[in-house]
Amino acid sequence: MTDLIPLVQAHCLPCKGRESRLSGARLAELLPQVPGWELVEDGAAISRTFRFGNYHETMAFVNALAWTAHREDHHPDLGVHYDHVVVRYSTHDAGGLSENDFICAAKASALTE
54-76 tens-digit pLDDT: 999 999 999 999 999 999 999 99
Question: What is the distance between the alpha carbons of residues 26 and 22, in angstroms, rounded to a whole number?
Answer: 6
10-62 tens-digit pLDDT: 999 998 888 899 999 999 999 999 999 999 999 999 999 999 999 999 999 99
Classify strands 45-51 and 77-80 as parallel, antiparallel or unpaired. unpaired
Residue 16 identity (one-letter amino acid): K
User: Rounded to the nearest 10 degrees, how much is the dihedral formed by the CA atoms of 102, 10, 64, 34?
Assistant: 30
Fold of 37-113: Gyrase A; domain 2 (3.30.1360)
Whether residue 2 has pLDDT greater than 60: no
Domain residue ranges of the chain, discontinuous segments joined by + = 37-113
CA proximity to 98, closest of 53, 42, 51, 45: 45
